[in-house]
Chain A
Amino acid sequence: MSGTSLVTARERALAVLGGEPDDATLRRYLHGIAGVDAVGLEQRAAGLGTRSIKTTSKRRALDTIISLIDLTTLEGADTPGKVRSLVAKAVNPDPADATTPRVAAVCVYGDMVPFAVDALGAAHGDPDAGLISVAAVATAFPSGRASLDVKLADTAEAVAAGADEIDMVIDRGAFLAGRYGLVFDQIAAVKEACRRPDGSSASLKVILETGELATYDNVRRASWLAILAGGDFIKTSTGKVQPAATLPVTLLMLEVVRDWHLATGQRIGVKPAGGIRASKDAIKYLVTVAETVGEEWLQPHLFRFGASSLLNDVLLQRQKMSTGHYSGADYVTID
């Protein structure tokens, strides 16, 4: 996926903002967006969570979930062996059932990208083509506490090593201090660093770390900010901070994406990450996507789950639907 070019993103931001994306202009814009009533948002999310998905719909939902997973390992103890194991699982999630779809991507630290690319081999590529992308977290993940130069080098190195997608973190400290211009510039710079020599660009997922932003109003503003600065995806969390992805936060981000689409025609992706472990919960996210931005968004370039253990739960559910009886943990592979 080529992503949107920086120049276009910047021009669009200037047009939307009516001025340079400095702190004051961004503040005027972001604080002019309608507020969020937390109770109402959470109630709406809870209501969407009561949808009952059965039989054929459930089967489709389970396969859709798998195809939208960024199968993730982000540990200090990650090794090439661990990454190879993860890749094997991504390529062939259920060895006992060849109809099982592949996941969308594997998500690893930047230094693990070469091992992931190597392990994927011919399976590496666009999920739309049935292949698997490599996503790398970058920009001093998960805290983001590093100089811009370090963040850009982190990004560029991952892209050079073959990462198709970059999951960056925003500087939450700067955001909370009201330095929106700084956050904007960093996102824009990372976006630039996603460019490859051939002019194409890695897709940029902007992690807001909603657990640290604390309020829904902040999440909404950060979502707009990330989109204005050129992010292709907005992502809830690193998975290292609690709470990570929640349904209300994801709903809110989907609403921003919907509004951006209505305003500009551009489609931005959403990635809830961290804490989604059960199929039942993941289905609620699918329902929320479908009823907020439409089913069109249920494709790898517009929606992802950042997850690891979710995959196995989906596989267990899938086996249950195939066999008619409940499966067990030993009937799916670890990783």
Chain B
Amino acid sequence: MSFLEYAPAPESRAILSLREQYGLFIDGQFVDGRGTPFQTISPATEERLATVASANDADVDVAVAAARRAYDRIWSRMSGRDRGKYLFRIARLVQERARELAVAESLDNGKPIKESRDVDVPLVAAWFFYYAGWADKLDHAGLGANPRALGVAAQVIPWNFPLLMLAWKIAPALAAGNTVVLKPAETTPLSALIFAEILQQAELPPGVVNIITGAGDTGAALVSHDGVDKVAFTGSTAVGRAIAKQVAGTDKKVTLELGGKAANIVFDDAPIDQAIEGIVNGIFFNQGHVCCAGSRLLVQENVHDEVVERLKLRLATLRMGDPLDKNTDIGAINSREQLERIRELSDVGVAEGAERWSAPCEIPENGFWYAPTIFTNVQTSSRIAREEIFGPVLSVLTFRTPAEAIAKANNTPYGLSAGIWTDKGSRILAVADQLRAGVVWANTFNRFDPASPFGGYKESGYGREGGRHGLAAYLAPTAIGQSAEPHRVAPGTHVPIESADPAAASETHSDARSEPRPATTKKGGAK
């Protein structure tokens, strides 16, 4: 056996005891769903992991009502300090059960355990720690004194970082004083359901967080529900667009974190070995199931061949296989459907005349797998250079000058992220200035931190998650002359929160010094 093959080093599944069946988590308890239950499988083996309830419209009603009750009676009346304490509790519990969560995540999602263990779950805990501290400091969030919570937040999250996206959504929402109904992705519900158990251990008041599982129609019912004040969605641009249309004319505040086709720009003076790592991390991290993945490599033409050669050498050392093996670099594609999509677009790339090269990986017999692949001779007009593949597929393009690199990088309807690799400081800053992307990584890639805002320009969505800016997605400024605590309403006296008549806009907007009414939550720091 070659040394590089290593012996199997599987993380033990013993730490995780999955239930046979999971219900919906509503009002602090697991309850049966009225939709048709579905199975969640391991994409690495296609083994069935658990049966999961599906929420129908009536279940969505119940969940939203529970969130509303919890908002009116408990959460909106609780001090920020106590809300913060609950979030701190949750953060600690996530740390305590970190390994279990990591195993569940890798099983259900297919991502390598080293990523769920070293990236996803630690960030989940960090996210709750970060926003826990904000809960009693909202006056300093940049929205003026006494910013108001929005009410009930409907949150729909994707399958690529199931638990991390949950944390990105729930932590700021609760810190800001909102209650939540969250729907995890159909293919990856498990970590969210274990998280529900954590909420029980934290003794979070019932109804403050409700987790309902189901497919797209469950999500659609949730975001269009009349009883929600806020919609937060992470997922495809197509669905985000549909949501934006759905909420048009309502008073729902919306944040959308959508697709991307990030340019990773490598100049000829780049720190080459780190750039290679950055390219690998940029597109092959999490099997490329990353909205901010550096899927378009823009490499200066005079170093193209060298970069591609080094990249191929490096890719040959990547280990694909059992997501629970600690030495696995590339796990399974999350679903058959996604695998088909990756294959289809890759075939398009070949048909368009690009050259495909795939790392020499052994493909396991069962499960969904796609070897790390790079396309060279890709033109800006190629579909694989324009459409989000959401898989381990890199398109390599070239440029000659900084201006051309910027022009090509910006030539996309997306604008989520970008990378710059060069040793020249002034160039980094100037290029970063001109890139139309919400996150720019210079001489690094795919770094995340709860203190750092994340979100896109253009069709990559609106609003930011993370940092002080992330709070703005869940708060409204209190206008001058308005009660600082408008939401301290008596239980059961829920005020309708939406109106199609703009003239009858809520009292918030009648004041002469009110804030504008964004249909879309913009960056924070307003006011």
A contacts, CB < 8 Å to B: 34-37, 39-41, 43-44, 50-58, 60-61, 64, 252, 255, 286, 290-291, 295, 298
A252 to B271, CA, bound (A): 12
CB 8 Å contact bits of B387-400 with A (1 = contact, 0 = none):
00000000000000
Q: Interface majority SS on A: helix, strand, loop or mixed?
A: helix
Expressed in whole angstroms, the Cα–Cα distance for A51 and B9 within the complex equals 9
Question: Contact between B1 and A52 (Cβ–Cβ < 8 Å)?
Answer: no
Contact A286 B3 (CB under 8 A): yes
Q: Which residues of the partner chain A approach B226 to less than 8 Å between Cβ atoms?
A: none
Report B-chain residues with C-beta under 8 Å of the C-beta of A40: 271, 273-275, 277-278, 443-444
The residues of B that contact A286 with a CB separation of less than 8 Å are 3
- B7 to A: closest C-beta gap in Å: 4
Query: How far is the CB of A30 from the nearest CB of chain B, in Å?
Result: 14
- CB pair A43–B277 under 8 Å, yes or no, is yes
User: Does B205 make an interface contact (CB < 8 A)?
Assistant: no
CA distance A252 to B4 in the complex (A): 19
Residues on the B chain within 8 Å of A291, using CB: 4, 317
Q: Could you say which of A51, A64, A255 contacts B6, with CB atoms under 8 Å apart?
A: A51
The residue in chain A whose Cβ has the minimal distance to the Cβ of B329 is: A47
- Given A40-B444, A54-B9, A255-B3 contact (CB < 8 Å): no
Q: Does A54 lie within 8 Å of B7, measured CB to CB? A: yes
Q: Which residues of B contact A298 (CB under 8 A)?
A: 3
Q: How far is the CA of A55 from the CA of B131 in the complex (A)?
A: 43
Once the chains are docked, how many angstroms separate the CA of A59 from the CA of B9? 14
Which A residues lie within 8 Å of B274 (CB)? Answer: 36-37, 39-41, 44
Question: Is the beta-carbon distance between B277 and A34 smaller than 8 angstroms?
Answer: no
Bound-complex Cα distance A61 to B8 (A): 15
B327 on interface, CB distance cutoff 8 Å: yes
Q: Is the CB of A57 within 8 A of B6?
A: yes
Q: Let me know if B269 is at the binding interface, CB within 8 A.
A: yes
The answer to whether A57 touches B278 (Cβ under 8 A) is no
Chain B nearest CB: distance from A307 CB in Å? 20
Bound CA–CA A37/B270 (angstroms) = 9
B44 within 8 A of partner (CB): no
Query: Nearest CB to that of A34 among chain B residues?
Result: B272
- The count of chain B contact residues (Cβ–Cβ below 8 Å) is 26
User: Which one of A34, A44, A290 lies within 8 Å of B3 (CB-CB)?
Assistant: A290
Q: Which of A34, A56, A252 has the most CB of B within 10 A?
A: A34
| Cβ contact within 8 Å between A295 and B271 | no
A295 cross-chain contacts in B, Cβ below 8 A: 2-4
Measured between beta carbons, the chain B residues less than 8 angstroms from A252 are: 273
A291 to B5, CA, bound (A): 11
How long is the Cα–Cα vector from A286 to B118 in the complex, in angstroms? 22
Max chain B C-beta neighbours (<10 A), residue from A41, A252, A291:
A291
Could you tell me if A61 and B278 are in contact, using CB atoms closer than 8 angstroms? no
Min CB distance B190 to A, Å, is 24
Least CB distance from A28 to B in Å reads 15
Residues of chain B within 8 A (CB-CB) of A44 are 273-274, 277
Out of B273, B423, B444, name the residue touching A255 (CB < 8 Å): B273
Residues of B within 8 A of A (CB): 1-9, 114, 118, 269-275, 277-278, 317, 326-327, 423, 443-444
Q: What CA separation (Å) do A64 and B1 show in the bound complex?
A: 14
Q: Which residues of chain A are within 8 angstroms of B273 by Cβ–Cβ distance? A: 34, 36, 40-41, 44, 252, 255
Supplied contacts A37-B274, A43-B277, A52-B9, 19 more A-B pairs, CB within 8 Å: A35-B269, A36-B273, A36-B274, A37-B271, A37-B444, A39-B444, A40-B271, A40-B274, A40-B275, A41-B273, A44-B273, A50-B114, A54-B6, A57-B3, A57-B5, A57-B7, A252-B273, A290-B3, A295-B3
By a CB distance below 8 angstroms, the chain A residues around B275 are 40
- A43-B277, A57-B1, A286-B3 known; A52 and B269 CB under 8 Å? no
- Given contacts A36-B271, A37-B271, A52-B326, is CB(A60)–CB(B444) below 8 Å? no
The 6 listed contacts between A and B (C-beta, < 8 Å) are: A35-B271, A37-B274, A40-B275, A41-B273, A53-B6, A53-B9
How far is the CB of A134 from the nearest CB of chain B, in Å? 28
Taking a contact as CB atoms under 8 Å apart, the answer to whether B271 and A54 are in contact is no
Rounded to whole Å, the gap between the CB of B470 and the closest CB of chain A is 24
- Bound complex: CA of A56 vs CA of B5, how far in Å? 11
Provide the bound-state CA to CA distance between A60 and B7, in Å: 11
Closest-CB distance, B359 to chain A (whole angstroms): 14
A35: B residues at CB distance < 8 A:
269, 271, 423
B8 contacts across to A, CB distance below 8 A: 54
Q: With the chains together, A290 CA to B275 CA distance in Å?
A: 20
Interchain CA distance A40-B446 in the complex, whole Å: 12
CA distance A53 to B443 in the complex (A): 30
Per the bound structure, the CA–CA distance linking A153 and B326 in Å amounts to 52
Q: Report the Cα distance A55→B1, complex, angstroms.
A: 12
Nearest CB on A from B522, distance (A): 32
Nearest CB of chain B from residue A299's CB, rounded to whole Å: 12
| Nearest-CB residue, chain A, relative to B114 | A50
Is the beta-carbon distance between A50 and B6 smaller than 8 angstroms?
no
Nearest Cβ distance between residue A93 and chain B, in whole angstroms? Answer: 21
B1 touches A56 (CB 8 A): yes
Closest to B326 in A: A52
Asked if A37 and B6 make an inter-chain contact with CB atoms under 8 angstroms apart, the answer reads no
In this complex, what residue of B is CB-closest to A40? B274
Contacts of B114 in A (CB 8 A): 50
Contacts of A37 in B (CB 8 A): 271, 274, 443-444
* Most A CB within 10 A of own CB, among B5, B270, B271, B444: B271
**CB-nearest residue of chain B relative to A251?**
B273
Contacts of A43 in B (CB 8 A): 277
A330 to chain B, nearest CB (A): 30
Distance of A43 Cα from B7 Cα, bound (Å): 24
From residue B487, how far is it (CB to closest CB) to chain A in Å? 44
Partner of B327, one of A36, A52, A61: A52
Report how far A50 CA is from B278 CA in the complex, Å.
Answer: 18
Min CB gap A300→B, angstroms? 15
Q: How close is A255's CB to chain B, nearest CB, in angstroms?
A: 5
- Residues of chain B within 8 A (CB-CB) of A255 are 273
Considering the complex, give the chain A residue whose CB is closest to the CB of B117: A50
Question: Across the interface, which residues of A come within 8 angstroms of B317, CB to CB?
Answer: 291
| Closest partner residue, chain A, to B273 (CB atom) | A255
Residues of A within 8 A of B3 (CB): 57, 60-61, 64, 286, 290, 295, 298
Task: Establish whether residues B7 and A58, one from each chain, have CB atoms under 8 Å apart when the complex forms.
Answer: yes
Kindly state the separation between the CA atoms of A291 and B280 in the bound complex, as whole angstroms. 14
Provide the bound-state CA to CA distance between A114 and B484, in Å.
88
Which residues of chain A have C-beta atoms less than 8 A from B269's C-beta?
34-35
Complex CA–CA separation, A41 to B273 (angstroms): 8
For the complex of A and B, the 5 pairs showing the least CB-CB separation, nearest first, are A40-B274, A52-B9, A52-B326, A37-B271, A37-B274
For A57, the chain B residues whose CB sits under 8 A away are 1, 3, 5-7
Given contacts A34-B271, A40-B271, A43-B277, contact A50 B7 (CB under 8 A): no
Bound-complex Cα distance A302 to B527 (A):
63
B195 to chain A, nearest CB (A): 25
Expressed in whole angstroms, the Cα–Cα distance for A81 and B269 within the complex equals 54
Complex Cα distance, B2 from A295, in Å, reads 8
Instruction: Give every chain A residue within 8 A of B272 (Cβ-Cβ).
Output: 34
The docked-state distance in angstroms from the alpha carbon of A262 to that of B2 is 22
